[in-house]
């Protein structure tokens, strides 16, 4: 549903979004059309083909770049996104868009990739220019990953070939024009027209980012609670009382602990590992030190008893 | 095979450096074929030579399938202005074609000092790799250290590299592998 809405929005844009060819009857042999993601093709004619037991009427086209054959069933001409080659006026507007100051690129690669794919299919020449400009501005922030580098190269190839055909210049010259707009020499200033309105792409709710800060805070709190509770008991009660508390937590260790009743801090380490949260390695250390402090006091057991007597 | 044709007298050391660099960049045998005259038909009113016309009018060199011919000239080149004006022209090549021309008119002066000669050679080699790269279907590259980065880009340093980056190298190797011969 949302994908349809976006394509409908794209088609509603003025002048720059070309009118897609709605019917095969509009095509004549020798016409030049742009097939999304394939580039400029020349219509060769109609022909019939038997495919899977069905007799289909197809439009035969040849890709200008390498002469590859492209066959489109007549019934699908309206849905594959075939469009006429842009006019020189439209190309000029695209150049003003390319040379304008670029907005911040989308940083979420999933959103960016999906948007770019849709732009290449349904966005017309402006959509292709948006992909080129977006990835170009992103490359100035950080190097593009290989997949996007290929996408950039492909989009750039489509744009250059359409520019060259529309302006009637060799492909290499079209590329120079594109790069002159994207990468002007130092000190060059263009007198630009207001750039065209970019194709609006609404981000559905399920693709929006969720804040992760709150989750981290919650995790921190839980971990602290899980670690602190038994140790506080150990530090407060000390000695045999602490050993008893740990015996409740881990039954297997309980048998070994009465012999070590004087060292309550050491058994705390295996219990943390058993909890399965190795991420908080820094937190237990100070607590372990706290727990070690009572140990020397126990060696001096008579003193403790004496103090206790005084308090009472 | 890459064949170099000079359209003006060039120093042998410069040509040797270009040959070595092209061989390293594309892994193809490179040789200096000789010198030809500049076609007068390609000269414009302002004294600059039209790049596409120069390649059409220059006297041909004997080549075989998939051979690329690189013409080295010293005259300034012009090209048809685009929607935003005329980009600076360091050379011209037809994308995926078989011949390209590089001009030294915009390169740093060769000079007489060793350092300036070295800078000139490196830049000439870079532009040669750039335009031969276009002949192997390479587009301009985003990486300023790559030889396929636009020649006029403000991101280029004083001594831009004359190597291809990994993406362009892979692509050119693939094209060369798929070539007929």
Shortest Cα distance, chain B CAs vs residue A8, angstroms: 30
Q: In this predicted structure, which of A108-117, B24-33, B70-79 has the lowest mean pLDDT?
A: A108-117
Full strand arrangement of the beta sheet holding A54-63:
A69-73, A54-63, A39-51, A32-35, A83-84
pLDDT value for A112:
87
Count the neighbouring beta carbons within 10 Å of the beta carbon of residue A226: 13
pLDDT value for B104:
93
Q: Burial of A163 by CB count in 10 Å (0-12 exposed, 13-18 middle, 19+ buried)?
A: buried
Higher pLDDT, B26 or A243: B26
Prediction pTM value: 0.69
pLDDT value for A285:
52
Count the neighbouring beta carbons within 10 Å of the beta carbon of residue B96: 15
Q: What residues of A are in contact with residue B167 (Cβ under 8 Å)?
A: 146, 149, 153
Higher pLDDT, B88 or A279: B88
Distance set, CA A143 to CA A26, A55, A111, A151, B175 (Å): 44, 49, 18, 14, 24
pLDDT value for A220:
56
Who among A139, A170, A176 is closest to B142 (CB)? A139
CA dist A99 and A174 (Å) reads 15
Who among A143, A172, A185 is closest to B94 (CB)? A172
Count the neighbouring beta carbons within 10 Å of the beta carbon of residue A161: 22
What's the pLDDT tens digit per position in A109-156? Answer: 888 888 888 888 876 888 899 899 999 989 888 888 888 888 999 999
Considering only CB atoms, which residues of chain B are within 8 Å of chain A? 52, 79-80, 82-85, 87-89, 92-96, 134, 139-140, 142-143, 150, 152-155, 167, 171
CB contact under 8 A, B140 and A91: no
pLDDT value for B103:
93
CA dist A20 and B142 (Å) reads 32
Taking domain A19-84, whether its CATH number is 2.40.10.170 is answered by: yes
CA dist B4 and A130 (Å) reads 39
Residues of chain A with pLDDT under 70: 1-19, 123, 195-312
Residue range(s) occupied by CATH 2.40.10.170 in chain A: 19-84
pLDDT value for A17:
53
Shortest Cα distance, chain A CAs vs residue B108, angstroms: 16
Would you call A49 helix, strand, or coil by DSSP?
A: strand
pLDDT value for B126:
94
pLDDT value for A77:
85
CB contact under 8 A, A172 and B82: no
pLDDT value for A37:
85
Distance set, CA B93 to CA A30, B10, B28, B109 (Å): 27, 21, 18, 23
Give CATH superfamily name and number for A88-207: CarD-like, C-terminal domain (1.20.58.1290)
8 Å CB contact between A134 and A198: no
Q: Which two tokens stand for residue A129?
A: 């220019």
**How high is the ipTM of this complex?**
0.90
CB contact under 8 A, A185 and B85: no
Q: What residues of B are in contact with residue A169 (Cβ under 8 Å)?
A: 80, 82
pLDDT value for A82:
87
| Among the listed residues A237, A292, A247, A283, the one whose alpha carbon sits nearest the alpha carbon of residue A265 | A292
| CATH of residue B18 | 3.40.390.10
Domain extent at residue B161: 2-178
CA dist B117 and B14 (Å) reads 9
Higher pLDDT, A216 or B73: B73
Residue range(s) occupied by CATH 1.20.58.1290 in chain A: 88-207
Distance set, CA B41 to CA A170, A188, B51, B58, B60 (Å): 19, 31, 11, 9, 15
Q: Burial of A164 by CB count in 10 Å (0-12 exposed, 13-18 middle, 19+ buried)?
A: buried
Q: Which two tokens stand for residue B149?
A: 């980065």
Task: Name which of A143, A148, A170 to mutate to probe chain B: the one with the most chain B Cβ atoms within 10 A of its Cβ.
Answer: A170
Higher pLDDT, B73 or A261: B73
Higher pLDDT, B13 or A194: B13
What's the pLDDT tens digit per position in B94-107? Answer: 888 889 999 999 99
Number of domains in chain B: 1
Element at B49 (helix H, strand E): strand B49-50
Count the neighbouring beta carbons within 10 Å of the beta carbon of residue A149: 19
pLDDT value for A294:
52
Q: Which two tokens stand for residue A307?
A: 């103090």
CA dist A154 and A126 (Å) reads 15
């Amino acid at each position: 549903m949302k994908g349809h809405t976006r394509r409908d929005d794209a088609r509603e844009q003025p002048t720059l979004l070309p009118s897609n060819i709605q019917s095969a009857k509009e095509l004549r042999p020798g016409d030049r059309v742009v097939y999304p993601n394939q580039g400029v093709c020349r219509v060769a004619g109609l022909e019939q083909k038997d495919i899977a037991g069905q007799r289909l009427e197809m439009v035969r086209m040849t890709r200008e770049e390498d002469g590859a054959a492209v066959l489109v069933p007549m019934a699908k001409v309206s849905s594959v996104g075939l469009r006429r080659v842009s006019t020189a006026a439209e190309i000029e507007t695209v150049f003003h868009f390319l040379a304008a100051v670029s907005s911040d690129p989308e940083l979420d690669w999933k959103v960016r990739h999906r948007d770019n794919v849709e732009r290449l299919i349904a966005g017309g020449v402006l959509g292709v220019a948006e992909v080129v400009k977006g990835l170009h501005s992103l490359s100035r922030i950080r190097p593009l990953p290989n997949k996007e580098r290929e996408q950039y190269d492909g989009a750039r190839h489509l744009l250059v070939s359409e520019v060259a055909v529309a302006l009637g210049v060799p492909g290499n010259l079209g590329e120079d024009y594109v790069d002159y707009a994207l990468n002007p020499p130092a000190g060059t200033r263009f007198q630009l027209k207001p750039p065209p309105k970019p194709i609006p792409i609404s981000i559905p709710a399920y693709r929006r980012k969720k804040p992760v800060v709150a989750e981290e805070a919650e995790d921190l709190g839980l971990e602290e609670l899980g670690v602190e509770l038994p140790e506080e008991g150990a530090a407060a009660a000390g000695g045999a009382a602490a050993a008893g508390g740990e015996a409740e937590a881990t039954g297997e260790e309980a048998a070994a602990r009465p012999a070590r009743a004087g060292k309550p801090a050491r058994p705390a380490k295996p219990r943390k590992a058993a909890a399965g949260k190795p991420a908080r390695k820094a937190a237990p250390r100070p607590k372990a030190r706290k727990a070690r402090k009572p140990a020397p006091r126990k060696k001096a057991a008579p003193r403790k008893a004496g103090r206790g007597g005084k308090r009472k | 095979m890459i064949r170099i044709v000079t359209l003006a007298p060039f120093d042998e050391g410069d040509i040797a450096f270009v040959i070595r660099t092209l061989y390293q960049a594309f892994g193809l045998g490179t040789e200096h074929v000789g010198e030809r005259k500049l076609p007068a038909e390609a000269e414009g009113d302002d004294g600059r030579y039209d790049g596409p016309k120069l390649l059409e009018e220059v006297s041909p060199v004997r080549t075989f399938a998939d051979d690329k011919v690189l013409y080295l000239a010293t005259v300034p080149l012009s090209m048809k202005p685009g929607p935003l004006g005329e980009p600076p022209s360091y050379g011209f090549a037809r994308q995926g074609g078989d011949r390209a021309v590089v001009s030294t008119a915009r390169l740093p002066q060769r000079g007489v000092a060793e350092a300036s000669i070295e800078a000139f050679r490196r830049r000439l080699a870079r532009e040669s790799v750039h335009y031969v790269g276009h002949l192997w279907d390479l587009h301009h590259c985003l990486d300023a250290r790559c030889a396929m980065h636009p020649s006029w880009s403000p991101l280029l340093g004083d001594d831009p590299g004359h190597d291809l980056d990994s993406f362009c190298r892979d692509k050119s190797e693939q094209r060369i592998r798929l070539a007929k011969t």
